[in-house]
């Protein structure tokens, strides 16, 4: 099972990799309106049928606090799935198919039934989602702070 710190480190590496094709966050904002029946994003966002998508890029799958996820997405997160742009790109195209493949489980299910087939539209929506997510440098700072806190906690225990 992957620890939170390891997952954050993996997310940082994945976020640092360039997303190959051109993307347009403004177009993505317009396309995201299709998603708002299930998802909210930004300040004051609340869970709906789907979880809040604020800071989804870089998040371990199935971990937004207060949302009741399905078993398959939780299992994927526990197996190390972090929502980077490439994973989101594949997931949005076919959530159930993505989870079946990721988990190597033909019985895997996804609560999300919506599919966005067009590649350029998926890239644009992901670009929009990324505007509500921390920059890779911010994730790195969080990792460093957690490592520092963990080191201090270990030193405190060893000095007792």
What residue segments make up the domains of the chain, in order of their start?
4-158
For residue 157, pLDDT beyond 90: no
d(CA 119, CA 136): 24
Query: Taking Cα atoms as reference points, which of 70, 76, 74, 42 lies closest to residue 56?
Result: 42
pLDDT in tens, 40-60: 999 999 999 999 999 999 999
Question: With bands split at pLDDT 50, 70 and 90, how would you rate the model's confidence at 134?
Answer: confident
Of the pLDDT bands very low, low, confident and very high (cuts 50, 70, 90), residue 146 is low
Compute the average pLDDT of residues 137-154. 56
pTM of this structure: 0.72
Q: pLDDT tens for residues 66-125?
A: 999 999 999 999 999 999 999 999 999 999 999 999 999 999 999 999 999 999 999 999
Predicted local confidence at residue 135, as pLDDT? 73
Q: What is residue 153's predicted lDDT score, i.e. its pLDDT? A: 47
What is the 3-state composition of the chain as percent helix, strand, coil, each rounded to the nearest 5? 50, 0, 50
Model confidence at 21, in pLDDT bands (50, 70, 90)? low
- Least reliable range by pLDDT among 1-10, 23-32, 104-113: 1-10
The pLDDT score that the predictor gives to residue 3 is 52
CA-nearest of 48, 32, 21 to 128 is 32
> Per mean pLDDT, which range of 4-18, 23-37, 117-131 is the poorest?
4-18
* Superfamily in which the 4-158 domain is placed by CATH: Cytochrome c-like domain (1.10.760.10)
CA distance 94 to 62: 17
């Amino acid at each position: 099972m992957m620890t939170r710190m390891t997952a954050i480190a993996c997310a940082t590496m994945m976020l640092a990799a360039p997303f190959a094709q051109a993307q347009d966050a403004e177009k993505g904002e317009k396309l995201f309106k299709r998603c708002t029946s299930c998802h909210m994003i930004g300040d004051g966002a609340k869970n709906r049928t789907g979880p809040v998508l604020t800071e989804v890029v870089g998040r371990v799958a199935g971990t937004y606090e207060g949302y009741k996820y399905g078993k398959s997405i939780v299992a994927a997160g526990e197996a190390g799935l972090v929502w980077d742009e490439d994973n989101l790109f594949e997931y949005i195209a076919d959530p159930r198919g993505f989870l079946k493949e990721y988990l190597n489980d033909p019985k895997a299910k996804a609560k999300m039934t919506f599919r966005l087939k067009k590649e350029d539209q998926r890239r644009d929506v992901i670009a929009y989602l990324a505007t509500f997510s921390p920059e890779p440098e911010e994730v790195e700072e969080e990792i460093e702070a957690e490592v520092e806190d963990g080191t201090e906690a270990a030193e405190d225990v060893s000095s007792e």
